[in-house]
Amino acid sequence: MSKPAVLKLDDKEFEFPTIEGVEDEKAVDFRTLRSVSGYVSFDEGYGNTGSCQSEITFIDGEIGILRYRGIPIEQLAEKSDFLESSYMILYGDLPNQTQLDAFRASIRDNTPVSPLMGAALKGFPSDSPPMGMLGAMLSALSCYSPELATNDRAKDLENFDQAASTAIAQTATAAALAYRVTKGLEGNQPDPSLSFHDNFLHMMFSEPGKAYEAIPEVSRALDLMLLLHADHEQNCSTSTVRMVASGGANLFASVAAGVGALWGPAHGGANMAVIKMLEEIKASGDDGSKFIEEAKSGKRLMGFGHRVYKNFDPRAKIIGQACDNLLNKLDIDDPCLDIARHLEQAALADDYFISRNLYPNVDFYSGIVLRALGIPADMFTVMFAIGRMPGWVANWREIAMHPKMKINRPRQIYQGPALRDYVPLESRT
């Protein structure tokens, strides 16, 4: 146990206990700060603030470590698959054969969505953004399965297994249906004989009389992509899920909020922004050299930089390798990959990026892989959401099971107008 922290304020000294994590992370426990000192801490963007103590995922941004429940992402990428890792993220340990079979069966059985959801999706315009449709449908799960979304914490925890399988499975089904709506196509019924990732590709791409034919390299690449996105500590969207859950809201309402948070280009929207950036560079005839200079004076090199990783994002290394393997196997010559490689090499040798610890993150190559899988760019962030769902669900459960769960309610420092009186309309200029 490290020594207490001493804070000197207005000639008074205040002692605060410290907290140490399993991996020697340290925190000052400020939970009494305002009551004993009248001060609040200020940390805009929360870059120096721990919002919770969690047992799910560990990241060390300085040396590029990512572990789900203690197991390194490199081992999981090589030896596990999305559903097995999802089980571990949800329940804490790798499943035995019985548990894994039961979990896979539960995902399979919960893959079909309510026919009402299919009808609701058809009510959206064909040019609707798939992320908007997905967020609406995840929230609507509380309408199609109200027994899993009572906002009675004990009941919602009692039904957690079913709710978790429903959220993980039906995010993929709703995503495929949303895609079909944007293409003006009828939806495909799930095929229970297929694996999770092959069923998704079937629901996306099968046509009447021409079922989607799984290609092993494509199936493995998709499963790997989902596994690598499955959780990532207290990122913007996961923190949003916890914020909503802390008020006692059900799982579906909480993960629907996570979709909204993930949508932005600084977060889950970056994979789409990377492809858009690469396409613009290609169209301009630049090999990336000109863009690198622009990225040093205002433009953002999308897919580079990270709030936590000040070294390589370990997922970027794994996805970068999978990208090479997949494009070679499929004999795809994607000029955007050449430009991405050029940007990476140039940035990693440039002091602007080095001095700011800007390295490729998970989004830098994921768009190229997704495009090679035949996934359209406006579905890239949806793919991120399908992958991240187990992490969001596990974080909801961690909040719901917290013995002293408190609603998250940050403070602020007010900088608006000082006290003043109401001015009648006739007296205003």
Residues classed as catalytic: 306, 363
Residues in Cβ contact with 14 at an 8 Å cutoff, skipping those fewer than 6 apart: 6, 7, 8, 33, 36, 37
| CA distance readout (Å), 315 to 8, 111, 214, 272 | 42, 28, 25, 17
What ranges in 183-306 are assigned the alpha helix state H?
196-205, 216-228, 236-245, 251-262, 270-283, 289-295
Contacting residues toward ligand SDX, per CB under 6 A: 232, 235, 266-267, 270, 295, 300-308, 356, 358, 361-363
Please write down the long-range contacts of 328-334, taking CB distance under 8 Å and 24 or more positions apart.
Answer: 329/217, 330/215, 330/217, 330/218, 330/372, 332/372, 334/368, 334/371, 334/372
What SS3 state is found at 355?
helix
In DSSP notation, 389-421 reads HHHHHHHHHHHHT-TT-----------S--S--
CA distance 248 to 32: 24
Contact 170, 177 (CB under 8 A): no
Question: Do residues 261 and 381 touch, judged by C-beta distance below 8 A?
Answer: no
Please report how close the Cβ of residue 90 comes to ligand SDX at its closest, in angstroms.
18
Tell me the residue type at 72.
Answer: P
Burial of 324 (0-12, 13-18, 19+ CB in 10 A): middle
Q: Are 375 and 321 in contact (CB under 8 A)?
A: no
DSSP 136-204: HHHHHHHHHSGGG--S-HHHHHHTHHHHHHHHHHHHHHHHHHHHHHHTT-------TTS-HHHHHHHHH
Give the residue with the Cβ less far from ligand SDX, 388 or 397: 388
At 38, is the secondary structure helix, strand, or coil? coil
